[in-house]
Every structure is written in C-alpha cells, then in structure tokens.
C-alpha cells in the first residue's frame, strides 16, 4: 500500500513539475519565437513549392535547423532570468536538489516540444515539397539544435542575465557559421549537413564523418548540461 502511495506521489510531483515548467516555457516571449519559426518555415516552403528548381533535402535541412534554434532560443537563454524575475529561483534553491529536477524536466520538455514541432515540419515538407525520410531528417536536425540549446543553458548559468546570454550565443552562433565553410566536410562542423554528400568523399567515409560528428555533439551536450547543473550549486550568485 505504501509503495503504491509512493508511486502516486511521484507521479503527482512529476505532473506538477510538468505543468509548472510548461507555464514557464510558454510565458512571455516564447510565442513570438514560435511564430517566427512558423513564419520562416511557411515562407521558405511556399518558395520551394512554387520554385521551378527541384528542391533537395540538403537545402531543407538548414531551414529545419534554423527553426529548431528559434524554438529553443528563448526558454534556454532567458530561463534563469525568468526564474529570477518571478522570484521562483529562491524557492528552487530552498529545496535541496530540487532545482536540478526542475531544470532537467524543463530541458526535457523544451526538447520534446521542439522535436514534435520539427517532426511536423519535416512531415509537411515531405508531403508538399520533396519526399524525405522524416524521422532520419528530424533526428539529425536535433543534434545542432540540442547542442546550441544546452550550450545556451550552460552560458546562462554563468552570465545569469538573459540579454547577456543572448549576445554571447549570437556571437558563438556567428563563429560556428563562419567555420561552417572551411569545416564543411569535417567532423568538427557544428552545422554539418549529413544529406550534403561531397563528391570527393566516398559514401563510407562520409558516414564515418557524420557518425563521429554526432558523437562529438552528443558528448558536448552531456558536458554542457553537467556544467550548467554544476553552476546551479552556487546559490549566492543567483539570489
């Protein structure tokens, strides 16, 4: 009986945390970033649909990545500041280890929402523009999106200011974009497009480069997440 009660209490806590974090995620300006991603996606897809040139999956990949970045930008960059402005940060630090659970749930929800929206975008483009492997495209798009999202979270725990974090992430983003061309076929390219196969590289070698790139991004995501959670230990710097 006590075990059943404990399970029910855990479920109730998870549901409460989910509702709370959904309110935080969808609060303030997130809706504008969502609308921005939607307008950008619809606008480019209209161009692709009525374009005389045949659209390619590698062209749409960049569209999906940009939309994903717009979706994760606000909640990861301004999440800490929103907690501070609403004074909920004091409550989070008042309960041992609670802040970790809240932020892990929040990040999971952010990426779940992003995944569902991007999956819808790729499925719609597959129907309207060009046939593509919907789940495979969405899977690869999530790597740079998650990388930049978790990096934003980590930077926000150090800067503790949404505007400052936004400026730094824009600088980092521009830096990664500048490196995109010289690192076009390198495993170190954050925005590596797995569907843009270089003619001078064999298919086997290209698969190896893509695999190594995804491993590097995945490890970076874990490291950034752990560093962000570690920074949350410094209570005096947030309150």
The total domain count for the chain is: 1
pLDDT confidence band for 223 (50 / 70 / 90): very high
Spatial CB neighbours of 161, under 8 Å, sequence gap ≥ 6: 81
* Between 199 and 173, the higher pLDDT residue: 173
Mean pLDDT of 138-157: 92
The pLDDT assigned to 17 comes to 67
Query: Can you give the pTM of this predicted structure?
Result: 0.83
* Interval 47-65: pLDDT, tens: 777 765 656 788 888 889 9
Based on its alpha-carbon atoms, the radius of gyration of the chain, rounded to whole angstroms, reads: 20
CA distances in angstroms from 207 to 189, 196, 219, listed in the order given: 14, 11, 18
* Interval 61-95: pLDDT, tens: 888 998 899 888 888 887 777 666 556 655 555 55
The pLDDT assigned to 21 comes to 66
Residue ranges making up the domain that contains 98: 2-237
Mean pLDDT of 122-139: 88
Task: From 152, 146, 184, select the one nearest 168 (Cα to Cα).
Answer: 152
- CB-based burial label for 237 (10 Å; 0-12, 13-18, 19+): exposed
């Amino acid at each position: 009986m006590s075990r059943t009660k404990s399970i029910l209490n855990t479920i109730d806590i998870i549901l409460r945390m989910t509702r709370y974090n959904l309110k935080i995620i969808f609060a303030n300006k997130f809706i504008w970033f969502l609308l921005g991603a939607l307008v950008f996606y619809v606008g480019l897809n209209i161009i692709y649909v009525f374009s005389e040139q045949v659209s390619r999956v590698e062209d749409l990949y960049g569209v999906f990545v940009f939309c994903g970045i717009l979706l994760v930008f606000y909640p990861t960059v301004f999440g800490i500041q929103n907690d501070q402005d609403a004074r909920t940060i004091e409550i989070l630090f008042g309960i041992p280890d609670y802040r970790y659970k809240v932020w892990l749930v929040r990040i999971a929800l952010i990426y779940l929402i992003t995944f569902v929206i991007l999956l819808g975008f790729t499925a719609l483009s597959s129907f309207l523009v060009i046939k593509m492997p919907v789940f495979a495209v969405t899977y690869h798009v999530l790597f740079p999106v998650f990388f930049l999202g978790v990096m934003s979270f980590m930077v926000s725990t150090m800067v503790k200011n949404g505007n400052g974090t936004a400026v730094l992430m824009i600088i980092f983003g521009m830096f990664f974009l500048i490196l995109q061309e010289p690192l076009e076929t390198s495993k170190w390219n954050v925005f590596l497009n797995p569907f843009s196969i270089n003619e001078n590289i064999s298919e086997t070698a290209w698969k190896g480069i893509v695999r190594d790139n995804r491993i590097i991004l995945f490890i970076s995501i874990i490291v950034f997440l752990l560093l962000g959670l570690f920074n949350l230990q410094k209570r005096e710097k947030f309150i």
